[in-house]
């Protein structure tokens, strides 16, 4: 049962008086549960408990943390239909997506459990002593990774499970040995509370210290208090550029600055060569109409920018893309505010000089339904106007028609940092593909050949995070087991006797 309370180190509490409710975007009405924002005292208590928990949690054997993560997965599954129903009620996303995303969340938790069941992930190295070396003896040195401390996690509006309460940030931080304080996303506070209750059950069952996990409801100020707390040592965030940058700025201004891993906006450029369009334009139009409208375009890897060379084939492709996109029934967006943002940002971009809208749905729309938009513009106009480069979160894509390969390269080199870049080309392409790949790879975190950017595989070789403003720290991934590296730092033990080394270095 959802109580509307905060979870402070395992205890469900509501000392505060500021209340809020989530929205059912489908019916466009507030949901019944009344949630209570955490007070400053409750936030401080959560962090203090996390700090005390850290002293125990950081030295627990990996197998014990693995058991905790696996039990969180079990307890999430045990929430059964209540979790799925709450997810749908708060996000407007369909049941298939809810079940799929739960599966992804469970898979992530179990992947991290598997990762930390042994200590290979710590990248241990050993330099043997050389007592006879001249001019000076060399001491023995062992290097390993240790956790940073309590982590604050800000969940994503578009992934109420996989990148929220028990999502990738939380799972990787707990795996590393860092206690977690989640600031619940106000759009899905109910989903958050259910998952928080699963984490608390798992913590109790596996003997974790009580401060290992907390979850607080709150507004912007709660987030500020959390990031400014001296005992918080790192931040994970998934969301808008504005939100991520604000947290980054706060963290950089602290007396002790702390790392912020904000996975933010991206327009995910797709380069389609003339050869590819001429050979399989219709197929590409169909595939990309699907990718652009997938999940109402509410994915950070949504292909918001298609780069082509001007030609008659390109013109036909744009018409086909427009037709295929409009043919897909409009879907609900996550929240009235998200719909509002989609409309206003879309209007800003399509209102720029030279931009032509080639497709919008002209049927009736329910309150939070969004019609896909396909627009087009010349390479020159796009180059000259950075306002066209901004992300329109939703089913939106801009097709840029470049004069020639030189202009295409100039556009690629001038792009802001991106999560992904895609190249659609032919084996015997007329364009200089190696040159395009070289330019593109220095603007993105992942580069895809003849595919779509949507669909982020959870595996070791995934890099999800690119140059700013795609992320605040391109040197780390937010997806896959290597995301654990965000929460740890190296430490060396010099001339240490075996009995004083941490257990995993004793072997």
The reply on whether position 460 binds a second copy by CB under 8 A is: yes
Q: Shortest approach of a second copy to residue 431 CB, angstroms?
A: 12
State the DSSP H helix or E strand holding residue 246, giving kind and residue range, or none if neither. Answer: helix 241-253
The secondary structure of 70-133 as a DSSP string is HHHHHHHHHTHHHHHHHHHHHH---HHHHHHHHHHHHHHHHHHHHHHTSSGGG--EEE--BTT-
3-class state of residue 215 by DSSP: strand
x/- string (CB under 8 A) for a second copy, residues 426-445?
-x-----xx--xx--xx-xx
Q: Is 255 a catalytic residue?
A: no
Active site residue 7: no
Binds a second copy by CB under 8 A, chosen from 21, 26, 27, 58: 58
- Using CB under 8 A as the binding rule, whether residue 410 contacts a second copy is answered as no
- The stretch near a second copy (CB under 8 A) out of 6-14, 163-171, 188-196, 473-481 is 473-481
**Closest to a second copy by CB, 200 or 262:** 262
Asked if 498 touches a second copy (CB under 8 A), the answer is: no
Q: Measured from the CB of residue 502, what is the shortest distance to a second copy in angstroms? A: 8
Q: Are the CB atoms for 307 and 271 separated by under 8 Å?
A: yes
Burial 320-354 (b: 16+ CB within 10 A, else e): bbbebbbebebbbbbbeebbebbbebbeebbebee
We find the least distance from the C-beta atom of residue 201 to a second copy, in angstroms, to be: 29
| CA dist., res. 266 & res. 471, Å (int) | 9
What's the CA gap between 247 and 204, in Å, rounded? 32
Q: E-assigned strands of 184-259? A: 213-216, 234-238
Pinpoint the alpha helices (H) of 363-483.
379-384, 405-414, 433-441
Asked if 282 touches a second copy (CB under 8 A), the answer is no
* Residue 307, H or E segment: strand 305-309
Strands (E), 129-193: 141-147, 151-154, 180-183
Return the number of the residue (387 or 489) whose C-beta is nearest a second copy: 489
Closest approach of Cβ 222 to a second copy, in Å? 23
The piece of 122-130, 275-283, 316-324, 328-336 that touches a second copy (CB under 8 A) is 122-130
**In the range 148-167, which residues lie near a second copy by CB under 8 A?**
148-149
Residue 354 or 414: which CB sits closer to a second copy? 414
From 37, 52, 263, 407, the catalytic residue: 263
Active site residues: 263, 300
Contact positions vs a second copy (CB under 8 A): 55, 58-59, 125-127, 136, 138-139, 141-143, 146, 148-149, 248-249, 252-253, 256-257, 259, 417, 423, 427, 433-434, 437-438, 441-442, 444-451, 455, 457, 459-463, 467-469, 472-477, 482, 485, 488-497, 500
């Amino acid at each position: 049962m959802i109580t509307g309370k905060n979870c402070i180190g395992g205890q469900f509490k509501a000392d505060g008086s500021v209340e809020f409710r989530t929205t059912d975007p489908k019916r466009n009405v507030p949901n019944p549960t009344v949630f209570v924002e955490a007070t400053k005292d409750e936030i401080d208590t959560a962090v203090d408990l996390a700090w005390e928990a850290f002293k125990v949690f950081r030295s627990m054997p990996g197998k014990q943390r693995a058991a905790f993560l696996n039990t969180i997965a079990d307890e999430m599954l045990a929430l059964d239909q209540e979790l799925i129903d709450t997810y749908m009620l708060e996000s407007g996303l369909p049941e298939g997506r809810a079940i799929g995303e739960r599966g992804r969340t469970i898979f992530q938790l179990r992947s991290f459990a598997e990762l930390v069941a042994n200590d290979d992930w710590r990248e241990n190295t050993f330099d043997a002593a050389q007592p006879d070396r001249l001019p000076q003896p060399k001491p023995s040195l062992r290097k390993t990774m240790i956790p940073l401390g309590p982590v604050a996690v800000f969940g994503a509006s578009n992934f109420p499970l996989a990148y929220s309460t028990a999502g990738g940030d939380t799972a990787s931080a707990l795996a590393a040995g860092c206690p977690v304080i989640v600031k619940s996303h106000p759009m899905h506070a109910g989903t958050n509370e259910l998952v928080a209750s699963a984490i608390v059950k798992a913590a109790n069952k596996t003997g974790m210290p009580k401060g290992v996990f907390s979850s607080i409801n709150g507004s912007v100020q709660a987030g500020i208090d959390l990031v400014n707390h001296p005992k918080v040592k790192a931040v994970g965030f998934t969301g808008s550029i504005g939100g991520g940058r604000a947290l980054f700025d706060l963290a950089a201004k602290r007396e002790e600055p702390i790392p912020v891993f904000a996975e933010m906006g991206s327009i995910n450029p797709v380069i389609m060569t003339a050869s590819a369009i001429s050979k399989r334009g219709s197929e590409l139009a169909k595939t990309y109409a699907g990718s652009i409208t997938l999940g109402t375009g509410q994915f950070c890897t949504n292909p918001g920018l298609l780069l082509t060379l001007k030609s008659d084939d390109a013109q036909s492709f744009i018409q086909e893309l427009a037709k295929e996109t409009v043919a897909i029934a409009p879907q609900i967006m996550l929240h009235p505010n998200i719909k509002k943002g989609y409309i206003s940002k879309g209007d800003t971009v399509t209102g720029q000089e030279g931009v032509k809208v080639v497709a919008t749905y002209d049927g009736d729309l329910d309150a939070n339904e969004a019609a896909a938009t396909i627009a087009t513009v010349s390479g020159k106009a796009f180059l000259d106007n950075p306002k066209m480069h901004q992300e329109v979160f939703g089913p939106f894509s801009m097709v840029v028609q470049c004069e020639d390969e030189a202009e295409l390269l100039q556009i690629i080199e001038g792009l802001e940092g991106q999560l992904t870049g895609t190249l659609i080309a032919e084996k015997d392409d007329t364009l200089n593909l190696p040159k395009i790949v070289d330019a593109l790879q220095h603007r993105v975190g992942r580069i895809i050949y003849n595919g779509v950017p949507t669909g982020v595989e959870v595996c070791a070789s995934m890099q999800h995070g690119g140059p700013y403003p795609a992320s605040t720290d391109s040197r780390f991934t937010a997806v896959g087991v290597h995301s654990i590296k965000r929460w740890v730092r190296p430490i060396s033990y010099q001339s240490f006797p075996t009995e004083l080394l941490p257990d995993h270095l004793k072997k």
